[in-house]
Amino acid sequence: MTGGFCVPVLLAAWLAAAAAEGLEQAALPAEESRVQPMTASNWTLVMEGEWMLKFYAPWCPSCQQTDSEWETFAKNGETLQISVGKVDVIQEPGLSGRFFVTTLPAFFHAKDGIFRRYRGPGIYEDLQNYILEKKWQSVEPLTGWKSPASLTMSGMAGLFSISGKIWHLHNYFTVTLGIPAWCSYVFFVIATLVFGLFMGLILVVISECFCVPLPRASSERCEQEQSTGEAQGAEQLQDAEEEKDDSNEEENKDSLVDDEEEKEDIGDEDEGEEDEEEDNLAGIMAEERSDTNERAVVKEGSVSPKEDGAHPADTQDVVEDALRQRKSQNANKGS
């Protein structure tokens, strides 16, 4: 009887102790996270000091696996002299665009405004060694237009912010209001067309305000001046072409005259050469005749008249043949 009574008493005591322990644990405050959430309003804090950032999404399994390691890394941040932050890409699409995050989870190291991508595992030991051994110095920094602080990435952040707002609005239509998805798509298409037309109208108004139109009379004068200028230009071109033609004709005439004069000079020279040759031949004939006469006088008694008369005739024939050959050669040259 005593043993049967003790069992319920012990069971009741154990339940009471367990309930009391549960109440004590519930009464204790939850341990605060050392990871600082980063938003579009406070992200510039990473421009000073040393930081490690994690980009995650609540629905990402890989991100959830590294949450405990990231919390441990943040608890030891004071020892490592580093600040630890996280960015929810669903709530902050602008920051994901500024850092051009395309995979999750994504880790970044920042040192005095210089950013580097950490591509190692999200395990506490690897993260700790990355900071203590300063392995980030061997990683190429994000400089130029790739830097999150550049103007280009600021524009990218704006585009991602607009896309995030459109996505939230689509979820509001389809989930909260229960509108079909195709109706939401039609709404966004119509809104895009209306927005484009509105922006075009604004540009037209701005151009009309800043670009003052010219009066009609002045525009007509400009057209007349333009037409007269074109006509004058055409006339000048025609005059220039005519002058060129005239100059070419004069040059051709001058060249013809020069050719004729050269031919005449050549003919005169040929005639002078022929006269000189004839004079030379006549002198030769005269000398030969005088020689023959002298020989005839000397040999008057010993030589017969027939033999003595044969020599002058032969020489005269030779001279005449030479003259004929000269004349034929000169005729060939002249032709």
pLDDT at 319 over 70: no
Confidence of residue 11 (pLDDT cuts 50, 70, 90): very low
Which structural domains are found in the chain, ordered by start?
34-143 (3.40.30.10), 151-207 (no CATH)
Which are the contacts of 51, defined by CB distance < 8 A and separation ≥ 6? Answer: 45, 82, 83, 84, 85, 109, 110, 111
Between these two residues, 138 and 31, which has the higher pLDDT value? 138
Give pLDDT, residue 26.
40
Alpha-carbon gap, residue 186 to 190, rounded angstroms: 6
pLDDT digit string, tens, across residues 51-87: 999 999 999 999 999 999 999 999 999 899 999 999 9
Give pLDDT, residue 10.
38
Q: Would you call 108 helix, strand, or coil by DSSP?
A: strand
Between these two residues, 122 and 2, which has the higher pLDDT value? 122
Confidence of residue 299 (pLDDT cuts 50, 70, 90): low
Between these two residues, 233 and 330, which has the higher pLDDT value? 233
Between these two residues, 233 and 174, which has the higher pLDDT value? 174
Which are the contacts of 148, defined by CB distance < 8 A and separation ≥ 6? Answer: 98, 99, 115, 142
Known catalytic residue at 63: yes
pLDDT digit string, tens, across residues 197-251: 999 999 888 888 887 665 555 566 777 788 887 888 888 888 888 887 777 777 7
pLDDT at 49 over 50: yes
Q: How many helices (H) and strands (E) does the chain have?
A: 10, 5
Between these two residues, 85 and 161, which has the higher pLDDT value? 85
Give pLDDT, residue 249.
75
The single residue of 63, 183, 209, 222 carrying the catalytic annotation is 63
Mean pLDDT of 94-104: 92
The single residue of 60, 183, 209, 222 carrying the catalytic annotation is 60
Mean pLDDT of 306-334: 59
Between these two residues, 19 and 97, which has the higher pLDDT value? 97
Known catalytic residue at 60: yes
Mean pLDDT of 291-318: 53
Integer CA distances (angstroms), 6 to 11, 12, 187, in order: 9, 10, 73
Mean pLDDT of 257-270: 69
